[in-house]
Amino acid sequence: MSVHQYLQFVILPIICLAYLIIFIRFLKGPKVVDRVVAIDLIITSGVGLIGVFCILYNNASFLDVAMILALIAFLSTVAFSYYLDNGESKKKKKNE
């Protein structure tokens, strides 16, 4: 089995299954935090999918897009956690 066949018949179905599970988590997430984590996982899986397609089509031009997408996902997660941390501290100050 070559690398291309392995990517097509093993890795891509696993990534598609991961997308399905993450999307279900996004829809059923009881809290906003669960949905944000699901969106972050979707973006991370997208970076992996872009990497697989770059290998399959022997084209490295999309790797820049994958790096920028990973950076945006990281920064959005940091911003959301900062928002949650400040929101909780402001609620505590209002209650006191």
pLDDT tens column, 31-58: 888 898 999 999 999 999 999 999 999 9
Phi-psi region of 59 (alpha: psi -120 to 50; beta: other; left: phi over 0): beta
Nearest one of 38, 48, 57, 39 to 13, comparing CA atoms:
48
Q: Residue 83 sits in which domain range?
A: 16-90
**In the structure encoding, which two tokens stand for residue 24, read together?**
């279900």
In a domain, 36, yes or no: yes
pLDDT at position 29 over 70? yes
In a domain, 8, yes or no: no
pLDDT at position 90 over 90? no
Residues 6+ apart with CB under 8 A from 53: 59, 62
State the average pLDDT over residues 12-19: 96
In a domain, 21, yes or no: yes
State the average pLDDT over residues 76-88: 86
State the average pLDDT over residues 13-28: 95
Is the pTM higher than 0.85? Answer: no
Domains held by the chain: number? 1
In a domain, 49, yes or no: yes
Distance (Å, whole) CA 62 – CA 86: 36
Amino acid found at 34: D
Amino acid found at 72: I
